Amino acid sequence: MPIEVEVVETSSLGDRSYLAHDGRVAVVVDPQRDIDRILSMAGRLGVRITHVVETHLHNDYVSGGLALAKVTGAMYLVAAAEEVAFERLPVTDGDQVTVSEHMRIGVLATPGHTFHHAAYVLSGPDGPLGVFTGGSLLFGTTGRTDLLGQEHAHTLAHHQHSSARRLANLLPDGVQVWPTHGFGSFCSAAQSDAPASTIGRERQANPALRLEADDFVTRTLAGLDVYPAYYAHMGVANAAGADAIDLTPARRADPVELRSRIDAGEWVVDLRSRKAFAHRHLAGTLSFGLDGPMSTWLGWLAPWGEPITLLAETPEQVAGAQRELARIGIDRPAAAATGTPEQWADERSRLAVLATATFAELAAVRAGRRPHGLPDADVVLDVRLANEWRTGHLDGAVHIPLPELPARSADVPDGVVWVHCQSGYRAAVAASLLARAGRRVVHLDDDYNNLAATRLTIASGQDTP
């Protein structure tokens, strides 16, 4: 049977894991924490997992590699130079590991994303088929090089350039490229829409293979923006070795408990869509809809280790959120409740609404009109990241990137705040944070590109004020 490679997509984090098999045995690459997906796939295919490999100690998620190796009895391959607190098969550059008579993997040191990063070349009887590149050579870009600290970013960027060149020099054009990052992950230096790629395609499209080292390093470092705060905890967890995931249902909270948690200033999170939240929500709750990158932004903004309570329409939605949060090390919600805002409220609770508007309505308000009774726009707050702001922004807007808002809410000027981002999701988070702090808010739930069709002035090329 020919070797097949199955992709396990984790779109919420912008990552991919892989299961390669020959019909009998399988090797798994960079598994996420919820290994039940991998085990289910192996069972469906009728294959036995004999090897689990890590390209690096991940910074954007807690690995399920150790747990998967323990459950299946598989060999667990991790770079020998990594300092870890568990037993594994240490591998180094040039090692060849036989998976079966039809399949083997070769180890290539590819430092850059991390110091001890490795790529794994998957070969069959007729030679190399593809390479699992982790955070090294991605589709049209590479993994970012600043996750271990700015002091290492320049050195690692040079390593990243050399590693990408090494892969291209050693492997034929037809070899498939199977990266872990690059599908929305903040571990990627840039983003690509390509669904698949080969070494030959990357020779034509990837800056690491088209630019000389100094130009690549300058361009890469200049394009980097902030990354989620929870990344600081992921490498530590992966070096220690994560326990098996616990996805049993969260404890149910009644309305009295919910009110108590809100009054205590805890993070009580509404997982419904931002439109449902705006229509009606429990005052003091925060909007992190499951229809967007909930785990990334909640993990980034919420104080690490503090209790988080989840609100959703159904138990299945709570379970989905639990799974996403466990992938980044938020193992157990403090409590959960399902139903509607009316069912979550006790006699002391208040149901609230959140005004929403478009950029066209903002232009109308600034022109002295009041569509739908909207209030004055005393402050327009842009919560996009710094690189987004520099490419263009509404003239006169105040810029506080969303990751900074919890600590800088006092920096928002007085008056009614109209808050926007690029598409509306982050603005919903920001609006709920400001409303919880007692501010009067209008959520600009609109695509930023629609701003150009209004009479509002767009400025560009300026740093954050």
Site of tokens 């503090």:
306
CA atoms within 13 A on the CB side of 278: 19
- Return the minimum-mean-pLDDT range out of 282-286, 364-368, 404-408, 461-465: 461-465
For residue 111, is pLDDT > 70?
yes
The C-alpha atoms of residue 435 and residue 304 are separated, in whole angstroms, by: 22
Q: Give percent of the chain above pLDDT 90.
A: 94
Does the global pTM surpass 0.75?
yes
Residues paired with residue 8 on neighbouring β-strands, in sequence order? 17
- Token pair of 77, please? 């391959």
Answer yes or no: are the C-beta atoms of 364 and 358 closer than 8 Å: no
- Token pair of 198, please? 């080969």
Residue whose C-alpha is closest to residue 77's, from 98, 46, 102: 98
The string of pLDDT tens digits covering residues 258-306 is 999 999 999 999 999 999 999 999 999 999 999 999 999 999 999 999 9
Confidence at residue 182, expressed as pLDDT on a 0 to 100 scale: 85
The string of pLDDT tens digits covering residues 390-447 is 999 999 999 999 999 999 999 999 999 999 999 999 999 999 999 999 999 999 999 9
Q: What is the rounded average pLDDT of the residues 245-263?
A: 96
The string of pLDDT tens digits covering residues 146-161 is 999 999 999 999 999 9
What's the angle, vertex CA 62, arms to CA 57 and CA 63, rounded to 5?
65
Sign of CA dihedral 23, 27, 32, 35: positive
Check residue 140 and give left, alpha or beta (phi > 0: left; psi -120 to 50: alpha): left
Domains and CATH numbers, the chain: 4-240 (3.60.15.10), 255-352 (3.40.250.10), 356-459 (3.40.250.10)
Residue type, 228: P
The C-alpha atoms of residue 125 and residue 133 are separated, in whole angstroms, by: 21
Residues paired with residue 114 on neighbouring β-strands, in sequence order? none
For residue 465, is pLDDT > 50?
no
pLDDT band at 173 (very low <50, low <70, confident <90, very high): very high
Site of tokens 């295919």:
45
Answer yes or no: are the C-beta atoms of 198 and 177 closer than 8 Å: yes
